[in-house]
Structures are given as structure tokens and as C-alpha cells.
Amino acid sequence: METGSTTDVEATGAGPVWTGLPPGLLRMRRLLLVVWLGLAAVGLAVLLGWLVGPAWAAFALLPSAGAGFGWVVLGRNWRSWRYAERADDLLISRGVLWREETVVPYGRMQLVEVTSGPVERYFGLASVQLHTAAAATDATIPGLDPAEAERLRDRLTALGEARSAGL
């Protein structure tokens, strides 16, 4: 057994080794927030200035205030996401106000897929989604480095095949 591995940590009772999401996901989400709310502010200012009058265009500052609030909320949400690979299952924890922890046993996994939309690809990110026998299981790890996502997919697939062999 290697020193510092997840199994050693669990054996000593210290708990699982959690891995957070990379900062690229936070950068992407914050950039999208600023772009969309910036466009909304400009559009609202032009519309109000044209239809009602220049004084009413000041209400276009409301999306800017929303962007400031959203900036903080996105940071807290990003910090809440983490995952841990254990000997028999994968833990995914997320949430600020309502904490949610999902435990996905390797033997129950049916499909592990790596997805990356056009915006995610531009920022060099990918998501890992786990499908299990339970339809209600929401097991997704967003915003990973593509190499880490592929490594995780391969490892989870191998562990899933090994654990489900007895079923």
C-alpha cells in the first residue's frame, strides 16, 4: 500500500481525500455572467432611454448590481463542489445553503461519460457524468481538466467493471 493513498487515509480514520474543481470553471462562469448581464444592462439602457427617457436609463444599473451579487454566489458555489475517490465508491459533495452529498458505488455504475460543450472546450474544461441503475442519481462533476476527466472516466469504468463482475 502506498503512503498517502485514499485507502491509507481511510484506514487511519481521517476520512476521504477531497479534490476540488479547477479554477478554470469559476473563470468561465464569471465571464459568462459578466457578458450576459452586461448585454442586458446595455439593452435595457438603450430601450429605457429610447422609450421612456434618459433619466429612466439609470435602471440599467440593476443588472450590474446583479452581476456583483452573482460574482460572490458563483465563487461560493464553486468552492462547495468537491469529489473523493474511495475504495468502493465515489463521493460528490456540493451546495452552499443545502449541502448535498452523493455516494456512487462503483458496482452500480452503468455508464461514465465525458462531455464538453463549445464554451467548455474554449476554456479547456470537460464534465464527467455517471449514470447508475437509479434514475434519480445526479452524479456529475463539472469543469474538470480534460485529461483529469478522461483519467477519472477510465478509472471509474475499470472499477465499475471489477465490482459488477459478481452481479
Q: What span, in angstroms and rounded, lies between the C-alpha atoms of 107 and 60?
A: 53
Residue 35 confidence (pLDDT) above 90: yes
Weakest mean pLDDT among 55-59, 113-117, 153-157, 161-165: 161-165
* One-character DSSP codes across the chain: --TT-HHHHHHHTS----EEPPHHHHHHHHHHHHHHHHHHHHHHHHHHHHHT-GGGGGGGHHHHHHHHHHHHHHHHHHHH-EEEE-SSEEEEEE-SSS-EEEEEEGGGEEEEEEE--HHHHHTT-EEEEEEESSTT--EEEEEE-HHHHHHHHHHHHHHHHHHHTT-
pLDDT one-digit tens code per residue, 57-70: 778 788 888 889 99
pLDDT one-digit tens code per residue, 69-122: 999 999 999 999 999 999 889 999 999 999 999 898 888 888 899 999 999 999
Over the chain, what is the mean pLDDT? Answer: 85
Higher pLDDT, 92 or 167: 92
Taking residues 39-58, report their average pLDDT.
84
pTM confidence score: 0.78
